[in-house]
Amino acid sequence: MVRPLASRVALAAAMLALGVLASGLPAAASAQQVRVAPGRTSLPLGETVTVQIVLSGRFDETRGPDLADFDVVGKSSGTSVSVVNGQMTQEHQVTLQLLPKRAGTLTIGSIELVSAGKVVASSRPVQIRVSGKGAPPTAPAPPPGAPPESAPEGAPPDAAPEPSAPAPQSLARFAGKRWFLVPRVPERPLYAGEPIYVEYVLYSAADLSVADARLETPPALKGFVVTQPRDPDTELRRVRIGEVPYDGRVVWRGAVTPLEAGRVVLPPASAAIYVGDGFFVQTRRVASDAVTLDILPLPDSGRPADFVEGTVGQFVVRASLDKSSVRVGEAALLTVDVTGSGNLSSLRAPPVPPPPGMRVARVPASDLDETVVDRGGVSGRRAFQYLLTPEREGRFEIGRIELPHFNPVAGRYERSRTEAIRVVATGGAGGPIHEVRKERIVPVIASSDLAPAPGRVPDRSVGREVVMAGVGVPMALFLVAEAVARRRAWRERNGTSHARRRALADAEKRLKSLARSAPAGEGFWSGLDGVIRDFVSTRFGVPVAALTSDDLRAALAAAGAEAEVADALLAELEHCAFGRFAPSAAMERDRSASVDRVRRCLAGLDRARGGDA
């Protein structure tokens, strides 16, 4: 049997995916294991089956699987790491979309893991029963490179849909044309929300020398969500219409998702074909016809109560924990993988009901998602992650996580579910938990707002000015207190003599005041008398008021006053008495002179030694 080029390329790509995972991602030490899980084991010809392959453990390379009976129309891969009881397990997951080539019991060959030249693990072959309603092509065997899309003419009307090949009738009407452009869509019931793989194929008679062919006007797809593959489909497909071989070139392809049910139109596109021998190239333009599609609504019958709108496709759900035992308050990471084909982008995170005593929090994990657009439609993986945090010790069981979805190929609602997940929570004091954790020498700060540092911190010692003030002010206060105390002591020691020394100054001050008020002031003489008596009393400690003139003279003499001065002072006192009790005009005119005389007397008395301290 000659394997078509498309199949060989796709199969090589699938093998390459397995090989790259095997060689480029060395798994951690653990028991090697390989699991192959098909989404279903029986299907009609023309439908695809999703096969999930999980490789775990350490190995060098893989062998197999033999997929001779299938076309690989979609693939995705990923890696996950989990640590359970100190054992790190690295798993490589590969999801394949396989399109059976024929009816019958087909076999997905075993996969072998090879380590150090020895087969360390292998999977059992998986058998897929493909019902024969959709008969394989009966036309003459296509040449290498042509896909199995030339279905026999006159196939029964109830033939199973064949999404990747147009019905022969649709091509038969182009018989006799040298070239034509035709859109191809799956000929089966299509549903709203389902990504439909559409391709515009430019066919040209095989005997034409075609230098190039390219799309000129892409289809204006309105009312669809369009997802185009990253790489163009460059392979040449050969079909026969009648007896004439044609070469098909895909000029546009993508997955289009109708948003609503009803009749929608795939608009025409146009392409240019360059025919010639290299020197004389002629350009021919060709347009496709518009194609009308009837998009069915999702049926109400059988719709699960927990069905989320838009969950259309063939999905397999699988859950894994990074560790099965955690301490109370710590978190285990639950990863729910949804793999398969369909509207992966609209999938919502499956609800994970938290058991009593455990908190469940969703973790954004879009970077684990991977989708591929290929002839199988949109296929790949969506990963949803949750943190499971036990709040008490004990065993917890997370019930089966379910994903109800509508399978557009089968035309019915289905439900994919995981196994129950068990977590053991131990006390904070420890437990049989040995996490593999490499301690970093320098801690790494994973996220930051990059706020700038406040700058170099100045010298943390107290400032010079503060120190100077702090040292100086208390010392100054102490000095003030010292001065106050000393002054007080001095005053106590020298209070009398001080007063005596100040007696003359006080008297002179009062005399000045009297002199200023002399012309008209009343009480001048009594004031002058008071100045004299106060001075004598203060300066010499003599109670003047209680002494007669003779006694006062004697006291002043005893104090060392000169007799003349004492007599003059007594005369002034007498003068004052006259002035007070028998004032005369002449005396009134003599006021200033009296003040001067008294000043001289007091100065003369002050020079006397008596009364000095």
Considering only 161-169, 195-203, 473-481, 532-540, which stretch makes contact with another protein by CB under 8 A? 473-481
Classified as helix, coil or strand, 452 is coil
Q: Which of 220/446 has CB closer to another protein?
A: 446
Neighbour-count burial for 44-58, b at 16+ CB within 10 Å, e otherwise? bbbbbbbbbbbbbbb
Write the interaction track for another protein spanning residues 342-381; mark x where CB under 8 A is met and - where it is not: ----------------------------------------
Candidates 311-319, 341-349, 462-470, 509-517 — which segment interacts with another protein by CB under 8 A?
462-470
Site for another protein in 486-515 (CB under 8 A): 486, 488-489, 492
Q: Which of 429, 451, 545, 582 binds another protein (CB under 8 A)?
A: 451
Q: Which of 25, 259, 420, 473 binds another protein (CB under 8 A)?
A: 473
Name which position in 152, 474, 519, 543 contacts another protein (CB under 8 A): 474
d(CA 237, CA 250): 9
Distance CA 317, CA 308 (A): 15
**By the rule CB under 8 A, 478 interacts with another protein:** yes
Pick between residue 116 and residue 445 the one whose CB is nearest to another protein: 445
Cβ closer to another protein: 478 or 578? 478
Tell me which of 222, 230, 263, 460 binds another protein, using CB under 8 A: 460
Query: What's the alpha-carbon Rg for the chain, to the nearest Å?
Result: 58
- Choose between 438 and 609: whose C-beta lies nearer to another protein: 438
Please tell me the distance from the alpha carbon of residue 405 to that of residue 414, in angstroms, as a whole number: 5
Contact 229, 374 (CB under 8 A): yes
Least Å distance between CB 448 and another protein? 4
Is residue 29 near another protein by the rule CB under 8 A? no
Please give the Cα distance from 573 to 531 (Å, whole number).
10
How many whole angstroms separate alpha carbon 334 and alpha carbon 324? Answer: 10
Q: Which letter does DSSP use for residue 204 in this model?
A: E
Q: Closest approach of Cβ 463 to another protein, in Å? A: 9
- Kindly state the smallest distance separating residue 437's Cβ from another protein, in Å: 13
443 binds another protein per the rule CB under 8 A:
yes
In terms of CB distance, is 85 or 283 closer to another protein?
A: 283
User: What is the rounded distance in angstroms from the CA atom of residue 267 to the CA atom of residue 258?
Assistant: 14
Region of 330-338, 347-355, 410-418, 452-460 interacting with another protein (CB under 8 A)? 452-460
DSSP state of 262: E
CA distance 65 to 484: 108
CB of 56 closer than 8 Å to CB of 26:
no
Is residue 578 within the footprint of another protein (CB under 8 A)?
Answer: no
C-alpha to C-alpha distance for 319 and 334, rounded to whole angstroms: 7
Region binding another protein by CB under 8 A among candidate stretches 53-61, 62-70, 481-489, 562-570:
481-489
**In this structure, is the dihedral angle defined by the CA atoms of residues 66, 70, 73 and 78, taken in order, positive or negative?**
negative
Phi, psi for 179 (deg, rounded to 5): -155, 150
List 477, 571, 577, 613, residue binding another protein (CB under 8 A): 477
Dihedral sign for Cα 18, 23, 29, 31, please: positive
436 belongs to the binding site for another protein (CB under 8 A): no
Q: Kindly state whether residue 26 participates in binding another protein, applying the rule CB under 8 A.
A: no
* 198 within 8 A of 253, measured Cβ to Cβ: yes
Query: Is the CB of residue 74 less than 8 Å from the CB of residue 313?
Result: no
Count of CB atoms situated within 10 Å of the CB of 433:
17
Residue 440 in contact with another protein, rule: CB under 8 A? yes
The least CB distance from residue 24 to another protein, in Å, is 14
Among 292, 301, 366, 448, binds another protein (CB under 8 A): 448
Among positions 110-169, residues that touch another protein (CB under 8 A) are none
Q: Give residue 308's identity as a one-letter amino acid code.
A: V
Figure out which of the listed residues 116, 429, 450, 586 binds another protein, where binding follows CB under 8 A.
450
Q: How far apart are CA 571 and CA 593, in angstroms?
A: 14
Q: Is residue 78 helix, strand or coil?
A: strand
In this structure, how many other beta carbons lie within 10 angstroms of the beta carbon of residue 237? 23
Out of 452, 520, 581, 586, the residue judged to bind another protein by CB under 8 A: 452
The residue type found at 286 is V
3-state secondary structure (DSSP) of residue 312: strand
Q: Point out which span in 31-39, 49-57, 205-213, 446-454 binds another protein (CB under 8 A).
A: 446-454
Residue 363 CB, shortest distance to another protein, in Å, is: 17
Q: Which is nearer to another protein, 292 or 447 (CB)?
A: 447
In the complex with another protein, which residue's Cβ is closer, 214 or 607? Answer: 214
Toward another protein, which CB reaches closer, 481 or 505? 481
Sign of CA dihedral 51, 57, 62, 64: negative
Does the bond joining 152 to the residue before it have cis omega, within 30 degrees of 0? no
- Judged by beta carbon, residue 453 or residue 545, the one nearer another protein is 453
Q: Which is nearer to another protein, 364 or 443 (CB)?
A: 443
Residue 540's contacts (CB-CB under 8 Å, 6 or more residues apart) are 500, 555, 556, 559, 561, 605, 608, 610, 611
Is residue 312 within 8 A of residue 298, CB to CB? The reply is yes
Closer residue to another protein in complex, CB, 220/462: 462
Looking at 364, 430, 432, 454, which residue binds another protein (CB under 8 A)? Answer: 454
Binders of another protein: how many residues, by CB under 8 A?
Answer: 40
Query: Reduced to 3 states, what is the DSSP secondary structure of residue 21?
Result: helix
Q: How far is the CB of 455 from another protein (least distance, A)?
A: 6
Among 222, 279, 455, 586, binds another protein (CB under 8 A): 455
Is there binding between residue 484 and another protein (CB under 8 A)?
Answer: yes
User: Which range of residues in 250-258, 424-432, 435-443, 589-597 is near another protein by CB under 8 A?
Assistant: 435-443
Residue in this structure with the two tokens 């999703």, named with its chain if needed: 50
Of the two residues 222 and 460, which places its CB atom closer to another protein in the complex? 460
| Between 305 and 453, CB nearer to another protein | 453
Residue 125: which of 196, 53, 192 has the closest Cα?
53
- The rounded distance, in Å, linking the Cα atoms of 250 and 181 is 9
Angle (CA) 338-344-348 rounded to 5° is 75
Q: Specify the residue, 482 or 564, whose C-beta has the smaller distance to another protein.
A: 482
Q: Which of 230, 437, 456, 609 is close enough to bind another protein by CB under 8 A?
A: 456
Residues of this chain that interact with another protein (CB under 8 A) are 440-457, 459-462, 466-467, 470-471, 473-475, 477-478, 480-482, 484-486, 488-489, 492
